[in-house]
């Protein structure tokens, strides 16, 4: 398959198989932008773009620490994941013991309360462990390791390991029978408004803005059943009860309708120096994309959507990820050429009609010869070769 990418951003096309065993063409594109300095500013593409990720990134040891950014390759999402990576920042860089942070875009309006470091203590030497007074801070990493949760390893003999299944990498959690052993350990820095962490044995929902771990509940249940019957009858395909909602890595309250362009995004105390920062997403997020099938040379128009938005507050940037898929009869060999963005009209015409091309490679040409790939044949009349509506 020939891929012509006229966008200037990183793109990839590969084959993905769904849980029914059906093969699909999967196309993913990522664009990185700088956060505007003020409300009136427009996002500008970074000179050095971040490439597509084919593996998850973690705070520490992969799989055993807080996930930071999830790999970009999955078949599809039904909503847009909005994620934040970075830190909370006190306004004016003045030390604070408690801080509110917020993220707003589309239907998402989420707040967290960030506390300085605390420890479980007994204030009068007895009774239930309670949080100590918070220490001042200027910035605080917003990772799941600082949210409620955690894992108790057990003693290897009489005591079995105990895990907070919603956040195994967190802090502050203890089984009721082991609450005395939590003295001196960390209390969560991150809380949901109105849900103060008061005791280690409480049933608190972990609070965060980053991606949920693939093996955490309730996400893990969506992955389906991997038992002996699956090994004997289905492997290596996904189980029949696999739910594609598994691909959504953001917390449920951070999933919005696919952005169309121009949506206002607001950050509260999530960038260096703290305070409020607001801007609008790029005004037009439509991404032209079309494939020429082999051997018929018929054109199929794809409809990519922005299904992932990642804001990196500490580095003052954000990423948008577009995704599109197309069911295949058997394999990627059915796709002759895939065009993304603007292409040379003469070159695209040669690919469609099987004639000699102009030698430009599809995109290395004058601007006046370029057109969105979905409109590259607008001035060409050839029965059966028009782009699909």
Write out pLDDT tens, residues 105-137. Answer: 999 999 999 999 999 998 776 778 889 999 999
Report pLDDT for 14: 98
pLDDT greater than 90 at residue 25: yes
Report pLDDT for 313: 98
What per-residue string of b and e applies to 164-198 under the rule 16 or more CB within 10 Å gives b?
bebbbbbbbbbbeeebeebeeebbbbbbbeeeebe
Write out pLDDT tens, residues 332-389. Answer: 999 999 999 999 998 999 999 988 888 788 877 778 889 999 998 876 544 444 433 3
Write out pLDDT tens, residues 321-343. Answer: 999 999 999 999 999 999 999 99
Burial of 211 (0-12, 13-18, 19+ CB in 10 A): buried
Report pLDDT for 118: 97
Report pLDDT for 263: 97
Write out pLDDT tens, residues 30-80. Answer: 999 999 988 778 899 999 999 999 999 999 999 999 999 999 999 999 999
User: What is the rounded distance in angstroms from the CA atom of residue 31 to the CA atom of residue 49?
Assistant: 7
Contact criterion met (CB below 8 Å) for 272 and 257: no
Write out pLDDT tens, residues 220-242. Answer: 999 999 999 999 999 999 999 99
**Torsion from C-alpha of 219, 224, 227, 232, nearest 10 degrees:** -150
User: What is the rounded distance in angstroms from the CA atom of residue 112 to the CA atom of residue 101?
Assistant: 5
Contact criterion met (CB below 8 Å) for 187 and 118: yes
Contact criterion met (CB below 8 Å) for 41 and 328: no
Q: Which residue has the higher pLDDT, 201 or 60?
A: 60
């Amino acid at each position: 398959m020939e891929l012509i990418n006229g966008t200037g951003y990183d793109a990839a096309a590969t084959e993905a198989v769904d849980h029914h065993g059906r093969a699909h063409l999967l196309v993913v594109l990522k664009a990185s932008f700088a956060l505007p300095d003020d409300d009136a500013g427009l996002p500008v593409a970074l000179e050095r773009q971040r490439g597509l990720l084919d593996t998850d990134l973690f705070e520490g040891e992969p799989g055993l620490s807080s996930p930071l950014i999830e790999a970009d390759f999955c078949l599809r999402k039904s909503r847009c994941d909005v994620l934040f990576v970075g830190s909370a920042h006190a306004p004016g860089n003045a030390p604070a013991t408690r801080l509110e942070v917020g993220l707003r875009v589309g239907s998402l309006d989420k707040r967290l309360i960030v506390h300085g470091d605390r420890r479980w203590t007994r204030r009068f030497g007895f009774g239930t462990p309670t949080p100590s007074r918070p220490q001042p801070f200027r910035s605080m990493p917003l990772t799941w390791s600082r949210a409620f949760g955690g894992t108790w390893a057990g003693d290897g003999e009489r005591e079995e390991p105990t895990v907070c299944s919603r956040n195994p990498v967190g802090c502050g959690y203890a089984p009721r029978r082991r609450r005395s052993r939590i003295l001196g350990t960390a209390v969560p820095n991150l809380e949901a408004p109105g849900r103060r962490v008061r005791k280690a044995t409480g049933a608190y929902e972990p609070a965060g803005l980053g991606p949920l771990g693939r093996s955490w509940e309730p996400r893990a249940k969506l992955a389906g059943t991997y038992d002996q019957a699956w090994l004997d009858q289905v492997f290596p395909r996904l189980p029949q009860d696999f739910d594609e909602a598994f691909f959504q890595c953001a917390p449920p309250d951070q999933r919005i309708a696919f952005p169309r362009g121009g949506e206002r995004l607001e950050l509260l105390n999530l960038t260096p120096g703290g305070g409020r920062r607001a801007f609008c997403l790029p005004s037009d997020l439509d991404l032209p994309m079309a494939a020429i099938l082999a051997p018929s040379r018929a054109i199929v128009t794809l409809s990519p959507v922005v299904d992932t938005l990642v804001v990196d507050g500490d580095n003052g940037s954000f990423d948008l990820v577009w995704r599109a898929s197309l069911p295949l009869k058997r394999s990627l060999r059915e796709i002759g050429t895939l065009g993304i963005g603007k292409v040379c009209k003469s070159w695209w015409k040669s690919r469609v009609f099987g004639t000699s091309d102009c030698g430009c490679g599809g995109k290395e040409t004058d601007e006046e010869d370029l057109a969105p790939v979905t409109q590259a044949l607008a001035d060409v009349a050839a029965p059966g070769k028009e782009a699909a509506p």
